[in-house]
């Protein structure tokens, strides 16, 4: 069986970008009998960006409810919370010790933080940058390598981290023997980077997201807030680079997409395009939204599912970490 693995960081409410870029492809992959899915709440990752415990906890509930509402089959899938699998942290250390610092210097998230500091003249380039942020790709590599994932469905912003996981795995294999499979990213070209309300990448850290299960009225309001250019109805419009079109592309089939391209050429009014987009998203999401609301009222049930998932995950991670301990020479001496 091929192993498909992905995680969502528990720092906020899941949004359309998370859904189209990672969750939906992962749910679809989980329906293939040849696939063993590993989907998890990346709560150790949350500590890198967020020091509000209540928020991390609430986000864990919301993200877990999202997977279940979308119909993840927890019989087949291993659905767990990262922090319930402490072997991941042990592996993180083993990997840290074979990871070149220079590789981490090149990570986008770290580089962006340094660049932002350097914009302010005379500022310390490392201001506010923790070791958690700096070595974050190693933790992510451990998530992936712990279960020897073959395929990792993600949005474009995570591709570099998966390449780094491959590098780190190769390095470890080279030193200690072939223990790890080299993972590959799976990218859905129609949903690789959804843009947010302000036209930048939709992201929790930009505060420009459209939460996936926003109630219908609020969803409509948010879609109406998406920034457009000021072309009038009847003036031809360019779908390329248009936030509304980009999001529509993640939800529509090729036939619908062509029809909308034609409407852009004719000069569709932005108000009408927003209505079309709202309906498209709402039709896909509405049934799961009801299940989501109900699941939020049943945290015990969700916790039970996560506990079952943790048991399944640890049945794999415990023996594997023993194997790795042997490989690096930290096993019992007699
Ligand atoms: P996170 O929590 O930022 O995002 C979760 C997933 O959603 C995708 N995504 C998007 N896709 C398209 N358009 C967008 N605007 C958009 N915003 C987010 C992300 O690419 C991601 O796939 N480090 C990861 C979580 C993680 C992980 C892992 C993923 C931890 N360990 C192991 C895969 C494998 C993160 O912070 O994703």
Predicted confidence (pLDDT) per residue in 257-287, tens digit: 999 999 999 999 999 999 999 999 999 999 9
For ligand 1, atom 16, the nearest C-alpha belongs to 17
Least confident window among 17-21, 90-94, 123-127: 123-127
For residue 155, the ligand 1 atom closest to its alpha carbon is: 20
CB 38 within 8 A of CB 5: yes
Scan for tokens 């930009």, then name that residue: 206
Residue 156 marked ligand-binding: yes
d(C-alpha 104, C-alpha 137), whole Å? 7
| pLDDT band for position 213 (cuts 50, 70, 90) | very high
* pLDDT(121) > 80: no
Kindly give the distance from the C-alpha atom of residue 181 to the centroid of ligand 1, in angstroms, as a whole number: 21
Kindly give the distance from the C-alpha atom of residue 8 to the centroid of ligand 1, in angstroms, as a whole number: 6
Which of 203, 166, 179 is CA-nearest to residue 21? 203
Kindly give the distance from the C-alpha atom of residue 9 to the centroid of ligand 1, in angstroms, as a whole number: 7
pLDDT score recorded for residue 122: 76
pLDDT score recorded for residue 229: 94
With a Cβ cut-off of 6 Å, ligand 1 is lined by 5-9, 17-18, 21-22, 42, 45, 140, 143-144, 152, 154-155, 157-158, 191, 193-194, 201-203
Please state, for a pLDDT cut of 90, what percent of the chain lies above it: 96
- For residues 116-124, give the mean pLDDT: 85
Kindly give the distance from the C-alpha atom of residue 203 to the centroid of ligand 1, in angstroms, as a whole number: 10
d(C-alpha 60, C-alpha 49), whole Å? 15
Burial (0-12, 13-18, 19+ Cβ within 10 Å), 316 = middle
For ligand 1, atom 19, the nearest C-alpha belongs to 155
For ligand 1, atom 34, the nearest C-alpha belongs to 6
d(C-alpha 185, C-alpha 162), whole Å? 6
Kindly give the distance from the C-alpha atom of residue 308 to the centroid of ligand 1, in angstroms, as a whole number: 24
327 DSSP 8-state letter: H
Kindly give the distance from the C-alpha atom of residue 87 to the centroid of ligand 1, in angstroms, as a whole number: 22
Residue 228 marked ligand-binding: no
- Please indicate, yes or no, whether the overall pTM of this predicted structure exceeds 0.90: yes
pLDDT digits (tens, 9 = 90+) for 238-261: 999 999 999 999 999 999 999 999
* pLDDT(58) > 80: yes
For ligand 1, atom 9, the nearest C-alpha belongs to 18
Domains of the chain: 2-99+135-194+298-328 (3.40.50.620), 213-293 (1.10.240.10)
Residue 202 marked ligand-binding: yes
Q: Is the ipTM of this complex over 0.85?
A: yes
d(C-alpha 60, C-alpha 67), whole Å? 11
CA 198 to chain centre: 20
pLDDT digits (tens, 9 = 90+) for 10-26: 999 999 999 999 999 99
The H or E element that residue 129 is part of is none
- For residues 27-44, give the mean pLDDT: 97
pLDDT score recorded for residue 19: 98
């Amino acid at each position: 069986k091929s192993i498909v693995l992905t995680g969502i960081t528990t720092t906020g409410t899941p949004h359309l970008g998370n859904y189209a870029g990672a969750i939906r492809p992962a749910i679809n992959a989980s329906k293939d009998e040849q696939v063993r899915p590993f989907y998890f709440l990346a709560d150790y990752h949350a500590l890198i960006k967020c020091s509000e415990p209540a928020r991390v906890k609430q986000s864990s509930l919301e993200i877990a409810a999202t997977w279940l509402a979308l119909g993840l089959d927890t019989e087949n899938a291993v659905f767990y919370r990262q922090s319930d699998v402490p072997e991941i942290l042990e592996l993180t250390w083993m990997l840290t010790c074979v990871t070149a610092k220079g590789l981490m210097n090149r990570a986008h998230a770290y580089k962006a933080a340094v660049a932002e500091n350097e914009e302010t003249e005379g500022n310390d380039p490392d201001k506010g940058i923790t070791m958690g942020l700096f070595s974050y790709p190693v933790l992510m590599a451990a998530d992936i390598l712990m279960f020897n994932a073959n395929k990792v469905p993600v949005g474009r912003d995570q591709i570099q981290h998966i390449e780094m996981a491959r590098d780190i795995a190769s390095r470890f294999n080279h030193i200690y023997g072939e223990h790890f499979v080299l993972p590959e990213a799976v990218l859905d070209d129609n949903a690789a980077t959804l843009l947010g309300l302000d036209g930048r990448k939709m992201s929790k850290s930009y505060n420009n997201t459209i939460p996936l299960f926003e109630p219908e009225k609020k969803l409509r309001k948010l879609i109406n807030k998406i920034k457009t250019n000021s072309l009038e109805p009847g003036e031809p419009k360019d779908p390329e680079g248009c936030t509304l079109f980009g999001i529509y592309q993640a939800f529509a089939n090729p036939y619908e997409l062509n029809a909308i391209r034609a409407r852009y050429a004719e000069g569709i009014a932005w108000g009408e395009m927003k209505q079309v987009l709202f309906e498209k998203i709402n039709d896909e999401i509405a049934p799961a939204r009801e299940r989501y609301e109900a699941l939020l009222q049943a945290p015990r049930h969700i916790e039970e599912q996560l506990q079952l998932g943790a048991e399944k995950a640890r049945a794999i991670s415990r023996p594997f970490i023993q194997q790795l301990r042997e490989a690096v020479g930290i096993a019992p001496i007699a």
